[in-house]
Structure 1
């Protein structure tokens, strides 16, 4: 079979996305309610964050605006997994019902085809909220804006998002081998809430876990240091893009390995 190029996949994705958005807009009330729910969820998280800093002006040397920068950075980094990989939550049902077999007979990449079927537009509200927080804190901190600085934050935001995508891909793929895999996916997803905090506020054990076991520190903390503290950037911060790419590639291989072993019998 002839290998498809990127132009082909972009064109196919555009058509699939258009159909998905049409189906969502046919239930406008559900779309509006779920979107408002996402917005209020982010607002409530910010209110909790603001209340915390009303009592503690700084946390382990991190000021309010630096923490706000980290918060906004994490929201933006988490947006791609919310928008483009939300179908991972349905993978378990497709596998156990046997319906996943339909994806195995299309002449395109199986992972691409499955993930592209769903675009969670509610994630755009989170993205806008994160942008506002990032820009506001950027101004308050007084970071000098340059084209190189913009390039850095763009690259580190994109590659940081690959870490959470990788974690969710690997957790979702557990359903190919484990029946009660939902708890694995749910546990991994809940860990994202710790991404908005600097890893230095945790005990040495959790620092190790959040860096080398469940590497959520690479979703916001390590990448953001390149912008916030350019004079004292640890090696792990510079390695963040490479780590994001490697983790995503490994998770993709795990996901595809499980999909290729799928028998289609359901349960």
Structure 2
């Protein structure tokens, strides 16, 4: 309850700040929609030159992309920590965070949350529904529960990987360029892994499991046996990488000795 109340207070303060400059809020939301629209447009362009992509149809690829957007929107909302090193390490704001009773990572997340990013999740869900009807998929009673479970698992994968990478700032405040590189790699997860070579399939499945944020969980609903076997592993992989991310973060906090250290 303490953390729920804390979340409510941070959210109210965020809305007060954003509603002071409402035009900026609208522009931010439109910019996010345009970015997602361009990614979808790219997929449509690809299918003007081919009917199948590695055995997958246009509607199936669009369905995968829609699913990919749902956990990514949640992740973007609650993990807007791209400037963590400069703000919290170089400028010393981590010292302020550590003097408060709430968990330090929870505070950092709330201070940087970006609710407009949730628009991406809503749009992704709409794209999924459209593709669902185009593919004439059947809806089982357990599908909504499986969908929520898959989204939670995929979000945990995002959170775990990026928490571990952000924690590198506790050991070195020099820009590493790893986060932008990882952002580019994660986009491979919105396409079927079967179109990649074996090395990339292994990378996206077991090392940086971004295949579990798009293709694998989406394959469960598409009834694609080639990838469906991995689908139900999504929550398990999510918990494993969440544990890794939190462990690296907590170890980094223990190593932190204050501004200038």
Q: Same fold (TM over 0.5)?
A: yes
Equivalent residue in structure 2 for 1:156, among 139, 150, 156: 150
Normalising by structure 2, we get a TM-score of 0.94
Task: Kindly indicate whether residue 21 of structure 2 is the aligned counterpart of residue 27 of structure 1.
Answer: yes
Equivalent residue in structure 1 for 2:257, among 244, 247, 263: 263
Matching residue of 1:99? 93
Normalising by structure 1, we get a TM-score of 0.92
From the superposition, tell whether residues 35 and 9 of structure 1 become closer, same or farther in structure 2 (CA, over 3 Å). same
In structure 2, distance between residues paired with 1:106 and 1:153:
36
Matching residue of 1:47? 41
Say whether the 8 Å CA contact 2:67–2:128 is kept in structure 1. Answer: yes
Equivalent residue in structure 2 for 1:188, among 182, 186, 198: 182
- 1:16-95 aligned at under 5 Å gives the runs 16-86=10-80, 88-93=81-86, 94-95=88-89
SS in 2 for 1:112: helix
From the superposition, tell whether residues 232 and 99 of structure 1 become closer, same or farther in structure 2 (CA, over 3 Å). closer
From the superposition, tell whether residues 182 and 24 of structure 1 become closer, same or farther in structure 2 (CA, over 3 Å). farther
Structure 1 range deviating more: 229-238 or 70-79:
229-238
Matching residue of 1:179? 173
In structure 1, distance between residues paired with 2:240 and 2:187:
23
Task: Kindly indicate whether residue 9 of structure 2 is the aligned counterpart of residue 15 of structure 1.
Answer: yes
Return 5+ residue gaps in structure 2 as ranges.
none
SS in 1 for 2:102: coil
SS in 2 for 1:55: coil
In structure 2, distance between residues paired with 1:126 and 1:141:
22
From the superposition, tell whether residues 205 and 231 of structure 1 become closer, same or farther in structure 2 (CA, over 3 Å). closer
In structure 2, distance between residues paired with 1:53 and 1:233:
21
SS in 1 for 2:82: helix
Task: Kindly indicate whether residue 112 of structure 2 is the aligned counterpart of residue 118 of structure 1.
Answer: yes
Structure 1 range deviating more: 255-264 or 177-186:
177-186
SS in 2 for 1:32: helix
Matching residue of 1:165? 159
SS in 2 for 1:59: coil
The alpha-carbon deviation at position 233 of structure 1 amounts to 5.6
The alpha-carbon deviation at position 230 of structure 1 amounts to 6.4
The alpha-carbon deviation at position 27 of structure 1 amounts to 2.3
Matching residue of 1:130? 124
Return 5+ residue gaps in structure 1 as ranges.
1-6
Task: Kindly indicate whether residue 216 of structure 2 is the aligned counterpart of residue 216 of structure 1.
Answer: no
From the superposition, tell whether residues 231 and 59 of structure 1 become closer, same or farther in structure 2 (CA, over 3 Å). closer
The total of aligned residue pairs comes to 260
The alpha-carbon deviation at position 32 of structure 1 amounts to 2.0
Matching residue of 1:3? none
The alpha-carbon deviation at position 182 of structure 1 amounts to 4.6
Say whether the 8 Å CA contact 1:163–1:215 is kept in structure 2. Answer: yes
Equivalent residue in structure 2 for 1:147, among 127, 131, 141: 141
In structure 1, distance between residues paired with 2:169 and 2:96:
17
Say whether the 8 Å CA contact 1:167–1:188 is kept in structure 2. Answer: no
